[in-house]
Amino acid sequence: MSVALSLPMTDLPAAKAALKSVFGFDAFRPGQAEIIEAVLSGENVLAVMPTGSGKSLCYQLPAILKPGLTVVVSPLIALMRDQVGQLKELGVEAASLNSSIEYDEARAIRRSIIDGRLKLLYVAPERLTRPDMIEMLDEVGVGLLAIDEAHCVSQWGHDFRPEYLRLGDIAQQIRCLQTMALTATADAPTRADIVEKLFRRAPRSFVRSFDRPNLHLAMQPKDNARKQIAAFLDGRKGQSGIIYCASRKKTEELATHLGLAGYRTLPYHAGMAQPARDTNQDVFMQEDGVVMVATVAFGMGIDKPDVRFVAHADLPSNVEAYYQEIGRAGRDGLPADTLTLYGLDDMRLRRLQIEEGETSEERKRIERQRFNALVALCESPRCRRQTLLAYFGETSEMRCERCDLCQGDIAVFDGTVEAQKAMSAILRTGERFGTEHLVNILTGNATEAIQRYGHDTLKTFGIGKDRDVNSWRSILRQIYAGGLISLDIVEHGRWTLTERGRRVLRGEEKIDLRTDVANRVTGKKAKRRAAEVQAVNDGADGSLLAALKALRTTLAKAQRQPAYVIFPDKTLIELASIQPTTKEQLLGIHGIGEAKLKRYGTAFLDVVLRHRLANAVDGSGPSGSA
């Protein structure tokens, strides 16, 4: 079945109709409609949207509606394969050209491009730069070039790929009418890089909220990582999740340890043979209740929507990486949990990696500041969501009441005087210096730089001798997290005062600082969080939901597709709650459009009807919850 709609490009109602008939969705997610309307009207677009907010739809739906070919640049073969498989399930003519495609299949794809039958073509940046590809696309013309994971173009981004640097020029060579760049993770310097390097004509920018309210954020000082991870997993058996480790060895050891504890764990890291990695990834994507213990090699392209938790057994590299990695949980919008462990060894190792890296001093300086921002998030005395959003330049006045700091017991003290001392040092040095210089002033350490600038004569020199350097570093990070000072990660990591900081300095406000976080995610708390997640299934018949998932797994394995390509959890939960009895009623279920109704409607309807018959349901509603 091929979807080919000829509609006015600015007709948003028609787009809504296609949203329902093709994708089976009743309404756009927040932010999607405005972006899709801009694309349909021919504008260049930069879209920065949080993971799970539906970025892919923002180019897939216009590609269906607009005439001509849409080329999607994607950095991973696995992601291309999954997206193409999902589009084909929806009846959309889509294909990918990459190194895994056999010659005969590649030739057939090229023929469908030349004949104008293909709507979406997924390519890796390396493939798009080949002369034969450029020549073919120049011949047929490209209506829309959609560049996914666009932060890869920026050397300030955490996944820089030099191949992305050529994409702006290639857009001109293939006579591309319109360019769209999409990413979930881009701070201000990275966004500026994307605009400069990918667009010849200024794009219309959409920077949506980075908030993921369905994610529960938690961080713990590292004590015994194995025990802490095991406590976090207590009560989560049967859920899909990811645990990130810093080394290949730890990945193998933790996967084995948790496997012996009764969890279905699989390892994944770059040192494994490719067939083993592929097999483990396929199991994770196709089956329920699998926990992947992985290095960051298990990264972009993991689009499994029902991942219920992401844990970090070791500290991530920076805030962008942390945000990207926890973003792999709860893409279906349902509640999901995160836990990050951090310790001094993690911090020392990361700083050593930065200093010994074969990069420019400028790059190292930026990486230092980004890592310091992550440590500030770990040590935050206030709502983690507020601190995380502030890093991306987003203000949130209300505490989330759903992170560990909002819900836990925090040991704090009145840190107003300490904050005033630190901010006084910042002001008296002209708001021009970074952490270490200020710490030396506060502790009275007359370094060569301190003497050169005459800062040993300041009233604040040695005013904080009662605390050691680590305490002052923590205080600076905490008042940063509290919104009293601002860190300029581009201009040499200098600290400046915010308006709130000036109020605290004048004694108009107080600031509490934390000494330690008494909150721990114990087994009891983990079970309570698991119960909150399970509450989403209220109204869904447990045994019917299990039967629907079993059918989905069977189909996914037979087709060698991720399970969500058949139907996401949200669809199955709704099926198990409403228990429809006709195909017409199936069309009212989230995620069931015309193509999927035709392909899977009978099989899933049979499971529902057999369940109703076995439980003597009279048609008045669900038979109860599990």
| C-beta separation of 435 from 496 below 8 A | no
Alpha carbon separation from 42 to 177, 285, 336, 499 (Å, rounded): 8, 36, 37, 41
Closest CA to 418 of 445, 438, 432: 438
Tokens of 7: 């509609």
* Residue 118 to residue 4: CA distance in whole angstroms: 10
Closest CA to 490 of 186, 156, 78, 86: 156
Tokens of 559: 């087709």
The owner of tokens 């929806």 is 90
| C-beta separation of 280 from 266 below 8 A | yes
* Residue 130 to residue 141: CA distance in whole angstroms: 16
* Residue 202 to residue 220: CA distance in whole angstroms: 43
Alpha carbon separation from 325 to 300, 304, 311, 526 (Å, rounded): 9, 13, 9, 20
Q: SS3 string of 145-165?
A: EEECCHHHHCCCCCCCCHHHH
Taking only the tens place, the pLDDT of each residue in 88-115 is 999 999 999 887 788 888 899 999 998 8
What is the predicted pLDDT for the residue at 421? Answer: 96
The owner of tokens 């216009």 is 62
Burial class (CB in 10 A: 0-12, 13-18, 19+), 200: exposed
What is the predicted pLDDT for the residue at 526? Answer: 52
Half-sphere exposure of 182 (CA within 13 A, CB side): 26
DSSP string, 453-500: TTGGGSTTTTTTTTS-HHHHHHHHHHHHHTTSEEEETTTTTEEEE-HH
The owner of tokens 């011949």 is 139
Q: Which DSSP state fits 117?
A: -
Alpha carbon separation from 366 to 106, 253, 470, 573 (Å, rounded): 42, 33, 21, 45
The owner of tokens 């819900």 is 407
Contacts of residue 237, defined as CB under 8 A and 6 or more positions apart, other chains included, come to: 262, 263, 289
What is the predicted pLDDT for the residue at 176? Answer: 86
In order of their start, the domains of the chain are 12-207 (3.40.50.300), 215-407 (3.40.50.300), 410-517 (1.10.10.10), 538-614 (1.10.150.80)
Which residues partner with 342 through β-bridges?
221
Pairing of strands 70-73, 144-147: parallel
* Residue 243 to residue 395: CA distance in whole angstroms: 30
Closest CA to 184 of 54, 81, 71: 54
Helices (H), 482-541: 499-505, 523-534
Tokens of 470: 């680590």
Residues of the chain with pLDDT under 50: 1-9, 517-523, 535, 617-626
Q: Which DSSP state fits 123?
A: E
Pairing of strands 410-414, 512-517: antiparallel
Contacts of residue 555, defined as CB under 8 A and 6 or more positions apart, other chains included, come to: 561, 566, 600, 603
**Helices first, then strands: H and E counts in the chain:** 28, 18
Q: Which DSSP state fits 19?
A: I
**What is the reported pTM?**
0.72
- The C-alpha torsion from 612 through 614 and 616 to 620, rounded to 10°, is -10
Q: Which DSSP state fits 68?
A: S
* Residue 132 to residue 134: CA distance in whole angstroms: 6
What is the predicted pLDDT for the residue at 376? Answer: 84
Helix/strand/coil for 192: helix
Alpha carbon separation from 407 to 113, 214, 310, 401, 511 (Å, rounded): 55, 15, 19, 6, 19
